[in-house]
Each structure stands twice: as C-alpha cells, then as structure tokens.
Amino acid sequence: MSDYPSVILEQAVNQMASLPGVGRRTALRLVLHLLRQTDEEVEAFSNAFTRLKKDVVYCRECHNISDTEICPICGSPRRDHSTICVVENVQDVMSIENTGQYTGVYHVLGGVISPMEGIGPKDIEIDSLMERLAKGEVEEIILALPTTMEGDTTNFYIYRRIQNAGLDIKISQIARGIAVGNQLEYTDEITLGRSIVNRTEFKG
C-alpha cells in the first residue's frame, strides 16, 4: 500500500525527487506547496520549465546558454573579444561573471577529459575552441578549469594543441588560490575574482 493518499500526489513527488539533491521529504514539501498555489501560479511555474526546454539554446560561439543564437556576452561590443576564458560548464561562467573582475568572453567546453568516464577530447568543445583561435583575433586564453587531475589533463591537452598549431597566443591559468579539487561554482566570489585577476602563464 502506498504511503500517499493520492496516486497523482505520489507521481508528482517522484518527479520532484528525481531532481539532483532533492530528497523525498523535501519533494513532498515542495509539491504540497505547489498544491496550495493558485492555478495561475502553478501554470506560470510549469510554463517556465516548458519554455526552458523548448526555447533555450547554446550560443553558436561559446556554447553558453542563451535565448538567442549568439549570447549577450559574445554579442557585446563592450567585451574584450581578444581574451577567451575557457571553462568546464555554464555554472562556471555565472560564477566568474558574479566576480565582476572579468571583461573578456568565454568558451564552455561542456566537460573535461576523463578517460575513466570515457570522455575524450572529441566529446567536449575543444575543436570549436581551436576554430575560434585559428581566426587570429585572440591574443590570450585563460584556462579556468577545475583544479583536479581531469582539469589539469584538459589544460595540458589544450596547451599542446595550441603549441602544435603554431598559434601565437598567450596561455594563462587562474591563480591557484582555489584549493586543489574544488569546483569553481563552489568557490567564493572574492577568491575566484582574485584568481582571475592574478592569473599566471600556463607552462605545460
């Protein structure tokens, strides 16, 4: 026998509990909260996620999340397009933007090289990064990947690709004020901002 008085309620709780970090008790509390809202509020809540799935795209240039083909950062004439900050995911872009210390553009890899998980260079956006660099408009790239073995492996791979391509581009990495093993999205904004400002030359 189910612990829930309604099959529909149980199905809603199951869906909510499928979200990362949401346990069944929290899921039940959230579902009951929605049940107490007006039809209009619940419909607006539902529509926001439907639009998220249907209308949000990835920027053609940097692969950041966007409402348009070119994201506002890549499309802004006020950004320094000669500097590209290479990050693992969209959350990292948001974290760096929140520091207010960076005025360049980004390139979101969508992951890092991890042989243990079967993720190789072709599985992430490295080739598209090399295409951007080959245009000759970029003077510096900042490697802002996680300070993990996988992040360092990806840093070195990108470094070697640039060297082998004979591109005259400055390669730097964020300062290691961030603890080894930390993800950027969990780093406080002051530390992350200082790491961007005090970046060092990457030496493979």
Among residues of the chain, what percentage have pLDDT more than 70?
Answer: 90
Write the pLDDT tens digit of every residue in 139-181: 999 999 998 889 999 999 999 999 999 999 999 998 765 554 5
The answer on pLDDT for 1 being more than 60 is: no
Percent of the chain with pLDDT over 90: 78
122: nearest Cα among 92, 154, 166? 154
List, for residues 93-130, the tens digit of each pLDDT value.
999 999 899 999 999 999 999 999 999 999 999 999 99
Q: Is residue 10 predicted with pLDDT exceeding 90?
A: yes
Which domains are delineated in the chain? Answer: 7-55 (1.10.8.420), 77-201 (3.40.1360.10)
pLDDT for res 66:
96
Angle (nearest 5°) at CA 183 between 119 and 94? 100
Residue at 44: amino acid letter: A
Three-state SS string across the chain, please?
CCCCCCHHHHHHHHHHHCCCCCCHHHHHHHHHHHHHCCHHHHHHHHHHHHHHHHHCEECCCCCCEECCCCCCCCCCCCCEEEEEEEECCHHHHHHHHHHCCCCEEEEECCCCCEHHHCECHHHCCHHHHHHHHHCCCCCEEEECCCCCHHHHHHHHHHHHHHHHCCCCCEEEECCCCCCCCCCHHHCCHHHHHHHHHCCEECCC
pLDDT band at 202 (very low <50, low <70, confident <90, very high): confident
Please name which of 190, 199, 202, 198 lies closest in space to residue 96, comparing C-alpha atoms. Answer: 190
Res 193: pLDDT: 73
Phi, psi dihedrals of residue 158, rounded to the nearest 5°: -65, -40
Global pTM reads 0.79
**Exposed, middle or buried by CB within 10 Å (0-12, 13-18, 19+), for 147?**
buried
pLDDT tens digit sequence for 181-201? 556 666 667 667 767 776 777
